[in-house]
Structure 1
Amino acid sequence: MLAAVLALGCTPARDTFVRGDIITAPVPERFSVCHGHGCRWLDTVGLTPEQWLEVRRLFEPPAPDAAAERRRIATAVAYLERLSGARTGTAGDLAMTRFDRTGPDQLDCIDESTNTTTYLRLLESGGLLRHHAVAPRATRGLFIGRWPHTTAVIREIPGATAYAVDSWFHPNGAAPEILPLEVWRDGWRPGP
């Protein structure tokens, strides 16, 4: 079973990014987008000035607290995913991993968590996050009898409460689930 999981690209998150050619300091005009399961395909895309302005407007005025900022993060990640999907051919990405659909138009949790981390870094480097910092991705399940699953992570500041930012549960462009990382690690899934 482990060999099958590794072959599908669902390796545990060891680093923030899974490939050496991913843009690690993304800017709105140029950033990487993974797709095709396990970041098999990698495209470089960018936003127009108008699109980046739309992202910035989501954070104006600045969020009054961390909970409000997490809601804005979810909206921004969904918007960036829709824009990227239109550019990379992944606009039709289905929710979760479909083993009967593994082409370049689909994303698994490695693709989703890597892309979401990139989007979060765009927000952070753009000065839009005041209550959170981007953290390395996290993986659950490999050693406790479940399929491995990886997510992007943010940490609330001040303090150290970590939150999973998981877009894998939904189709392209839907808001990611943002919940305490410890709850997510326990196998959390959205309700029916």
Structure 2
Amino acid sequence: MKKDKLFYLQQNNLNIKKFMDEYFKKDVPLVFGDGMPDAKIALVGEAPGKNEVEKGKPFVGQAGKNLDEFMEILELKREEIYITNVVKFRPYKVNNKTKSISNRPPTKEEIKISEPFLKKELEILDPKLIVSLGNVPLKCLTGYESATIGEYHGKPLEINFTGETMILFPLYHPASIIYRAELKKVYLEDLYKLKEYLQSSDII
């Protein structure tokens, strides 16, 4: 069963753990995917943040609120999809003055060490459609280092990430519209394009 295979994968994440032990020099919590293993849609984000680490689930807190609009427009429930991230641990930076911790984009090294896990994860899930949020999962899943979400957003494309042909539908990350208000209209238009694609493809 997919659920058992995912559990086994999560229990044997030695490469990621070894990397983190060497890289961070301390134990860093992992945040694995969440949702229905038999889901037709897999949502792939960048990496967990503070709230995700605390709850042990992807896309909770503010990220979860951003996801609510996504689910509402598509007329889906969270439990009907599978949600994961490229990087399974929180990339963070420390302010030297205040010692406060904040999120940062994952490095190429962090993405590279995480990629085999994501590849196996999606191979097990075998979803009808992968929806990526932002540049990091787009670059990882397509293998195009120069790919930008500005170029690929809002349209399906074929990828061969797992060795089998899959369909990817790239979207801007919901968090990006918080900092760039002009993207709100584009993001909503892309969501309705996605909904139309899902319906025309009999995915939902």
For the criterion TM > 0.5, the same-fold answer is no
TM-score bin, normalised by smaller chain:
0.3 to 0.5
Greater relative CO (CA pairs within 8 A, separation 6+): 1
TM score, norm. by length of structure 2? 0.31
Q: TM-score, normalised by structure 1?
A: 0.32
The structure number with the bigger radius of gyration is: 2
